[in-house]
Homo-oligomer: A and B are copies of this chain.
Amino acid sequence: MPHSVSVFGAAGFTGALTARLLYRHPSLELRAVTARSDVGRRLDDLYPHHRVPLELEELDLDRHAEVDAAVVAYPHGAAAPVVAELRERGVRVVDLSADFRLHDPAVYGRWYREHQAPELLGEAVYGLPELYREEIRGASLVANPGCYPTASLLALAPLARAGVVEDVVIDAKSGVSGAGRAATEKTHFVTVDENLNAYGVPRHRHIPEIEQELAILGADVRITFIPHLVPLDQGELVSCYVTLSEDAVDPGSLEELYAEAYAGEPFVELAAAPPGVRDVRETNICRISVHRDERTGRVIVFGAIDNLWKGAASQAVQNLNLMLGLPEDEGIGVTTSAERRAVR
């Protein structure tokens, strides 16, 4: 019998895509999709290409919480209260907001606002399976990482774990879907098309999340992180410029370091050439290349993901799969080329 799931907040880009993936998931049954706007509209009217013939409903926890698991795709701040109610009813939750990503409510307070459910922070697991696979398996509440942290941490983790990171500059570039569904001057086609600019300078909210996880991995640094908006739909690239603290890592071993770190990972793909976001479009894959600049000694790591997939919705399904004891890649499509060869 399939596990039952609901998606809360399915009118936005990430919630709707999560609904699409769950609707076609072989071992899950999507029971309901709720929304705060567009109640009564069908998802396949709002997003024809997702082909989910369900109606968006107004939140009714008595009905919608009668499920084994839930994905919450609410804005930061609005998510915590709903997650708290769901947890009270014993529902397993993957939360797409930032509300349970930061372990320290004081840090959350500084970058967002006062936390609405600090009592749950203790049970929340940071949902990056490549770092916390075992913890996620047993978790009842998983905080799905932000898109920028997903790409950045996967790009930097091997170096951070090796304890060689002294300083990091992350120049990040994202497609427009990362800005969400709200129609504003910033998301108007005429604003974005043939354009390119930085935003959120210099204090983007993904910074504390990246620093928290880098510190846990072994790199206790203050990062410089600047995101840019590029004229494409889905796709995100982080270009990480790492100053090494020592000379212990040489070019040859850099590639080995990454190969070992990600051996057997179904959704991390190592490449010799800098990855393009097109290489990972509509997949749960993070494609990484690592380079050493001999002239400066700096290490440069690129990480490419689809911000709506591995950066949000398909990673939520990956987490759900782990939490529910299902195969990790069920319902989220192809794995890396390397993996395919191995399994066939």
Residues of chain A whose beta carbon lies under 8 Å from any beta carbon of chain B: 13, 23-24, 44, 48-49, 51-53, 169, 171, 173, 175-177, 181, 183-185, 187-199, 201-203, 207, 222-224, 226, 228, 230-235, 237, 239, 241, 271, 274-283, 287, 291-296, 298, 300, 302, 304, 334, 336-338, 340-341
Q: Is B233 in contact with A232, judged by CB distance below 8 angstroms?
A: no
If A190-B177, A202-B293, A337-B51 touch, whether A230 touches B276 (CB-CB below 8 Å) is no
Question: A188 touches which one: B189, B201, B239 (CB < 8 A)?
Answer: B189
Residues of chain B within 8 A (CB-CB) of A195 are 232, 235, 276-278
Residues of chain B within 8 A (CB-CB) of A194 are 175, 193-194, 232-235, 277-278, 281
Residues of chain B within 8 A (CB-CB) of A222 are 295-296
If A176-B189, A271-B48 touch, whether A291 touches B201 (CB-CB below 8 Å) is yes
Q: Is B228 in contact with A239, judged by CB distance below 8 angstroms?
A: yes
Chain B residue nearest to A178 (CB atoms) is: B190
If A169-B169, A276-B196 touch, whether A300 touches B183 (CB-CB below 8 Å) is no
Give the complex CA separation of A13 and B189 in angstroms: 13
Residues of chain B within 8 A (CB-CB) of A201 are 274, 291, 300
If A295-B222, A300-B202 touch, whether A193 touches B173 (CB-CB below 8 Å) is no
Q: Is B230 in contact with A197, judged by CB distance below 8 angstroms?
A: no
Q: Is B239 in contact with A198, judged by CB distance below 8 angstroms?
A: yes
Chain B residue nearest to A211 (CB atoms) is: B295
Give the complex CA separation of A222 and B295 in angstroms: 7
Give the complex CA separation of A146 and B44 in angstroms: 29
Question: A196 touches which one: B173, B203, B283, B334 (CB < 8 A)?
Answer: B173
Chain B residue nearest to A335 (CB atoms) is: B51
Give the complex CA separation of A185 and B41 in angstroms: 15
Give the complex CA separation of A98 and B340 in angstroms: 34
Q: Is A233 in contact with B196, judged by CB distance below 8 angstroms?
A: no
Give the complex CA separation of A276 and B45 in angstroms: 12
Q: Is B189 in contact with A193, judged by CB distance below 8 angstroms?
A: yes
Kindly provide the distance from the CB of A95 to the nearest chain B CB, expressed in whole angstroms. Answer: 23
Give the complex CA separation of A188 and B237 in angstroms: 21
Q: Is B190 in contact with A176, judged by CB distance below 8 angstroms?
A: yes
User: Given A48-B271, A175-B196, 6 other A-B contacts at CB below 8 A?
Assistant: A49-B279, A53-B341, A201-B274, A202-B295, A223-B296, A226-B239
